């Protein structure tokens, strides 16, 4: 193994799990065994919750202006160790170095936003009657948990960590067992930044720890990012135990391409959106609806996609199971009559034959009822459906059960507004292939892409990670009493 076995991080210390069961951590780049991750038991989670509960009293009573000083230092450390963190992301996830660097840069932006929270949670105060004041304050929830996926080993944890702890909570994070190394390194940087022991804890494991988090009476809130199937289970299980829960699921994002779209810009955006991070992101373009005659744009998309080379500017998919599943979708679509314009099946990279790569794939003449058109593929594959009108295209987009993102490519402002108003998705792009909002705007979809109310990032996250305390105060008895006081 290249790295030492992964350990849990509890009360400021790396500790062994209580079980001997482990899983290998394998790099999708070349099949190298990087480490081994423990399959923790519920009593390991109990230890983390106890540590977080003890830390909560002091941390929650630390003024927020002081709490975010830790995050200022943490942000500096992310910047200082950017290349090291990016290399680790690339190794365990399979991203290209450029994509991994961009991921850490996004972590820096997320942390910058968290440092601004003192200016956003000042509360309100009003004299509601003579001598009587009403006031609201944001109070932390207590011990909270974050369950994160494999596709962004550093960014998704940083969707939750800075905001939750800046607002006074203590956190337990459960990394994906496929990519546990980054979260352990983040724990070290938070400690170096001065975060008190117990405020941030890491418990590794598989679905049994996810279940234990949902069930644990000492955990007040749970955030989850992953597939829709699991998001539903987590949301139902956590709320069954009266926890606050926000579970983000999968996506099938539709790009509507109109004949008046700028061909070069559209092709570049579509190709980058479908292949970035090897298509392993919930904001990837996986379905394109060609409205009218856009053959010239489709040709350019294929030309752009051919410039995307596995092992160079296209990373690996997470493991062999994913590679096999993605290639099955392509083969099934072909058997059903779709036309493969660019085929990424059976891809190998010289010198990295044990890596798990799928080349960029463009599939045309896909029917809306095909699996490749309806289901989340999570690979560098785009399925092209054809319609005569925008309304027909919108009907296809609206019929899909997900609602993360949709984009329209056009030079007609009125038509862009028409699509924005009618697309059933929480994040909309105009001439943008990956319409991810920048901070302070929140990330979050609709329909079966999100379960729960609010968001876990941006300004909206304040409502998720805190509860309101309302106080009414009167000091002057001489003011008399009326119905308002």
Cβ neighbours of residue 73 under 8 Å, at least 6 residues apart? 192, 193, 194
Q: Is 245 a catalytic residue?
A: no
CA–CA gap between residue 226 and residue 207 (Å, rounded): 12
The set of residues, in sequence order, having a beta carbon less than 8 Å from that of 174 and lying 6+ positions away, is 145, 146, 147, 148, 202, 203, 204, 205, 209, 210, 213
DSSP secondary-structure letter at 296? H
57: part of which helix (H) or strand (E)? helix 42-60
Q: Which residue blocks in 216-280 are alpha helix, DSSP H?
A: 228-240, 263-275
Give the SS3 label for residue 378: coil
Given strand 8-10, what is the order of strands in its sheet? 13-15, 8-10, 200-202, 170-174, 143-147, 221-225, 244-248, 450-451
Q: For the chain, what's the residue count?
A: 485
Helix (H, G, I), strand (E, B) or coil at 45: helix
Kindly state the helix (H) or strand (E) to which residue 200 belongs, with its residue range: strand 200-202
3-state SS of 297-326 is HHHHHHHHHHCCCECCCECCCCCHHHHHHH
The terminus-to-terminus CA distance of the chain in angstroms comes to: 69
* Residue 324 dihedral angles phi and psi, to the nearest 5°: -65, -40
Give me 171's structure tokens.
């956190």
Residue 304 tokens, joined: 């752009």
Per-residue b or e along 448-462, where b marks 16 or more CB atoms closer than 10 Å to that residue's CB: bbbbbeebbbbbbbb
Q: In this structure, what token pair is assigned to residue 386?
A: 């054809």
**How many angstroms separate the CA atoms of 480 and 485, rounded?**
8
> At CB < 8 A and 24+ separation, what contacts does 100-103 make?
103/152, 103/153, 103/154, 103/155
From the candidates 107, 214, 277, 282, which is the catalytic residue? Answer: 282
> Residue 37 is inside which H or E element, if any?
strand 33-38
Instruction: Kindly give, in sequence order, each residue whose CB lies less than 8 Å from that of residue 71, ignoring residues fewer than 6 positions away.
Output: 111, 114, 115, 162, 165, 166, 193
* Active-site amino acid positions: 282
């Amino acid at each position: 193994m290249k790295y030492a076995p992964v350990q849990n991080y509890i009360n400021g210390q790396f500790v062994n799990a209580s079980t001997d069961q482990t899983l290998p951590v394998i790099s999708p780049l070349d099949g190298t065994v990087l480490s081994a991750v423990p399959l923790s038991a519920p009593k390991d989670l109990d230890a983390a919750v106890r540590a977080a509960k003890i830390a909560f009293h002091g941390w929650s009573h630390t003024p927020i202006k002081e709490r975010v000083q830790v995050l200022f230092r943490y942000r500096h450390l992310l910047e200082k160790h950017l290349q090291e963190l990016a290399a680790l992301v690339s190794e365990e996830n399979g991203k290209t170095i450029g994509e991994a660097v961009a991921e850490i840069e996004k972590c820096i932006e997320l942390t910058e936003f968290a440092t601004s929270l003192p200016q956003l949670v000042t509360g309100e105060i009003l004299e509601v009657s003579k001598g009587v004041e009403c006031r609201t304050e944001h109070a932390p929830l207590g011990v909270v948990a974050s369950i994160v996926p494999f596709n962004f080993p550093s960014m998704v944890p940083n969707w939750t960590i800075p905001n939750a702890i800046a607002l006074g909570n203590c956190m337990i994070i459960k990394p994906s067992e496929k990519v546990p190394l980054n979260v352990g390194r983040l724990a070290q940087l938070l400690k170096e930044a001065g975060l008190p022991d117990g405020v941030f804890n890491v418990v590794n494991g598989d679905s049994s720890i996810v279940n234990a988090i949902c069930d644990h009476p000492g955990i007040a809130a749970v955030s989850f990012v992953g597939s829709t199937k699991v998001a539903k289970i987590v949301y139902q299980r956590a709320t069954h135990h009266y926890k606050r829960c926000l579970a983000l699921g999968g996506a099938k994002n539709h790009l509507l391409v109109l004949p008046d779209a700028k061909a070069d810009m559209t092709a570049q955006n579509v190709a980058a959106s479908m292949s970035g991070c090897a298509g392993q992101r919930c904001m990837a373009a996986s379905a394109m609806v060609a409205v009218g005659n856009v053959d010239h744009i489709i040709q350019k998309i294929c030309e752009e996609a051919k410039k995307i080379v596995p092992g160079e500017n296209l990373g690996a998919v997470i493991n062999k199971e994913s590679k096999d599943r993605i290639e099955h979708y392509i083969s099934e679509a072909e058997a059903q009559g779709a036309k493969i314009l660019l085929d990424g099946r059976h891809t190998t990279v010289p010198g990295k034959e044990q890596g798990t790569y799928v080349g960029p794939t463009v599939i045309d003449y896909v029917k809306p009822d095909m699996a490749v058109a309806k289901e989340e593929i999570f690979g560098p594959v785009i399925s092209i459906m054809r319609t005569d009108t925008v309304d027909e295209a919108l009907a296809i987009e609206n019929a899909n059960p997900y609602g993360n993102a949709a984009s329209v490519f056009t030079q007609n402002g009125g038509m862009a507004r028409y699509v924005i108003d009618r697309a059933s998705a929480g994040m909309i792009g105009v001439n943008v292939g990956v319409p991810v909002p920048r901070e302070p705007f929140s990330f979050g979809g609709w329909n079966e892409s999100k379960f729960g109310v609010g968001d876990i990032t941006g300004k909206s996250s304040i409502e998720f990670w805190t509860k309101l305390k309302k106080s009414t105060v009167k000091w002057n008895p001489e003011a008399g009493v009326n119905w308002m006081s």
